[in-house]
Every structure is written in C-alpha cells, then in structure tokens.
Amino acid sequence: AQTVTQSQPEMSVQEAETVTLSCTYDTSESDYYLFWYKQPPSRQMILVIRQEAYKQQNATENRFSVNFQKAAKSFSLKISDSQLGDAAMYFCAYRSPRGSGGSNYKLTFGKGTLLTVNP
C-alpha cells in the first residue's frame, strides 16, 4: 500500500517570503499522480497543484511550484511571495493509475502541514 509522509507538522513564513513544504511517499509503481491540497480555516479542500510522475518537468501554478524528485520519491511544494491568504493546512496526496479493488480511484493523503503566514 502506498504511504505519504509529511514530516513537518507546522511551518511558518514571513509575508512575501518563500517557504517549502516537504512530502515523501512510498510506492512500487512507476506511474502515478501527486497532488497538493490546501485547507484554509473555512475547511474547504482546494486543489493547489498536480504532478504526473511520467513528466519530468515540475508543475507550476502561479506562485506555487513543486520540486518532484522521482528517484527520491519526494514531492515538495514551494510557495513564493507568501500571502496572508496562504495560511492553511496543506496536504500532499498520491493517486495510483491502476490497481485492484478500485485502489486507483482514491487519493491517499499525508497528515498535513499547518502553514502560518506572519505579517
């Protein structure tokens, strides 16, 4: 079974600075998908960014980018020019492209990193 580990329960960053959130995962598959979700205090889960394992190029969405290291099974999220609205819980998630019992249909989440943005 795949596991996702976020080793930083909490992080903080000054407004306008850059912060990197770590995520590692364990899988025996060569093809899969990785995601970062954001959960602000409103508790709504919001998709931040998505990465396909077969693509070497790191995904980017505006101020959010990832550093995907497939060999190391690492998928970190970099937030540039941090804003107060970035304060939230961030979850890393893994999705298998195939598998028995419907396992390819679900996301497996890490335990989350709580990001605080200081003004």
Partner 1 sequence: DTAVSQTPKYLVTQMGNDKSIKCEQNLGHDTMYWYKQDSKKFLKIMFSYNNKELIINETVPNRFSPKSPDKAHLNLHINSLELGDSAVYFCASSQGLAGEPLFFGPGTRLTVL
* Helices (H), ranges, the chain: none
Interacting residue with partner 1 among 2, 27, 45, 67 (CB under 8 A): 45
Query: 102: helix, coil or strand?
Result: helix
Which positions from 1 to 40 touch partner 1 by CB under 8 A, shown as an x/- string?
--------------------------------x-x-x-x-
Query: 105: helix, coil or strand?
Result: helix
Q: Determine the Cα–Cα distance for residues 3 and 1; give it in Å rounded to an integer.
A: 7
Closest C-alpha among 57, 43, 66 to residue 112: 43
The least CB distance from residue 99 to partner 1, in Å, is 10
Kindly list the residues in this chain that would bind partner 1 in the complex (CB under 8 A): 33, 35, 37, 39, 42-47, 50, 52, 89, 91, 95-98, 101-109, 111-112
